[in-house]
Structure 1
């Protein structure tokens, strides 16, 4: 019985891995040709499989777009939660959260399809994506509000600032190229730092946060229990 469960778990993992690879390639096609200009055959060609093989993983093109949107938002929320769990200061948390969002745009899904093609989703799918997007935006505003209350960030409207940040990030596929001078992780590091620096009370005292190969901020993971609890409350309060 245990062996059978192990085999099933492996198959599920492998299926998920193949599906993620499919979504990565599909996002690239959607960003290049647009949703309405893309066919299942285009996606299959990008992935390197036949259209019939593609249907083993997805029902239709609409589902592909929906899954790309959902995956993009899930990755962004995961990055925000990681930031709250590992960074000790408001500016570090915000910078790490934005860095994760940018890496989703430049690396994970080869460009953000969430805002570009959201209107192409069915009513049911659009409703779910908007709900997830709103949850992420509320959590992001919570990080900004926290920095304002601690007098780390200038007095500003967290909602407007959040829209400015996300607008800048979601525009990145228009100019970013993987063949450019900087790799995705470095672009994310520099871009996120510049965004956070724009609302710091003392921007001159904001060195770029060092990070290891996973993007985790070095020397900033040991937080007090009080700080950890505060981060949890911050996320819960923005659900």
Structure 2
């Protein structure tokens, strides 16, 4: 019985292949971050993994495939953060905080492509179209979330699209300056940026100005 249990829980050949492919992409992403996408060659990636370039081609066809997977990984993280935010039973502002916390923490923990993530034009046209379409869906979902906060009064009235672009623009730029060996952990960055954005977008109670005194009439 024990042997049967063990055999049914061993990773299949396809699962082992996916694990190796994920490790390859992770290592390649680190090379992109260190050297830049354009300056990194398949030879560099193979050398960093300690394998031959021929072995790499068993898992990916070219550098663009690796960069594409980095972008799609980011999109999957964004979609998961949107889902958690929408499932949160709170105000629009609290949902926004949930999204920012979840996205930043997981983005830094699982997506290490760094500055290469701005090289979207390096992708093949069909890859770029797929990445942009998925990214646009995430952006639209975040705008809807912010608009919901404006509607429920937890977020100050304003331009939901501009707010969304500001949030995502700041988040997407984090890997260009974040250092895993630095003193700022993903959790600290996520909490700090969540506070910055939520404090800036939070609705303030309207203040009632003191009534103006009428000037005294001269005698």
Q: Counterparts of 1:114 and 1:93 in 2: how far apart (Å)?
A: 29
What is the Cα deviation at residue 147 of structure 1? 0.3
Choose from 151, 154, 157 the match for 2:153: 151
Q: Counterparts of 1:122 and 1:157 in 2: how far apart (Å)?
A: 33
Deviations 1:31-57 (A, max 9, x none): 332221111122223334332222221
- Structure-to-structure mapping, 1:40-119, within 5 angstroms: 40-112=42-114, 115-119=117-121
Tell me the residue number matched to 1:174: 176
Moved more, 125-134 or 176-185: 176-185
- Structure 1 residue 185 corresponds to structure 2 residue 187: yes
Moved more, 63-72 or 83-92: 83-92
What is the Cα deviation at residue 87 of structure 1? 4.4
Tell me the residue number matched to 2:38: 36
Runs of 4+ in 1 over 4 A off after TM superposition: 5-9, 111-115
What is the Cα deviation at residue 99 of structure 1? 2.0
What is the Cα deviation at residue 195 of structure 1? 1.7
Tell me the residue number matched to 1:163: 165
Q: Secondary structure of the equivalent of 2:118?
A: coil
Q: Secondary structure of the equivalent of 1:32?
A: helix
Q: Rg bigger for which structure?
A: 2
- Structure 1 residue 122 corresponds to structure 2 residue 124: yes
Choose from 10, 13, 23 the match for 1:11: 13
Tell me the residue number matched to 2:22: 20
How many residue pairs get matched? 201
Q: Counterparts of 1:26 and 1:97 in 2: how far apart (Å)?
A: 28
Structure 1 residues 44, 103: CA separation in 2 closer, same or farther (over 3 Å shift)? farther
Deviations 1:16-44 (A, max 9, x none): 33322222222222233222111112222
Specify every segment of 5 or more residues in structure 2 that has no aligned partner in the other structure, as ranges. Answer: 206-219
- Contact 1:66/1:125 (CA < 8 Å) preserved in 2? yes
What is the Cα deviation at residue 140 of structure 1? 0.7
Q: Counterparts of 2:91 and 2:116 in 1: how far apart (Å)?
A: 29
Q: Counterparts of 2:116 and 2:142 in 1: how far apart (Å)?
A: 16
- CA RMSD of superposed structures (Å): 2.5
Tell me the residue number matched to 1:220: none
Q: Counterparts of 2:11 and 2:95 in 1: how far apart (Å)?
A: 34
Specify every segment of 5 or more residues in structure 1 that has no aligned partner in the other structure, as ranges. Answer: 204-239
Structure 1 residues 6, 135: CA separation in 2 closer, same or farther (over 3 Å shift)? farther
What is the Cα deviation at residue 63 of structure 1? 0.8
Q: Secondary structure of the equivalent of 1:161?
A: helix
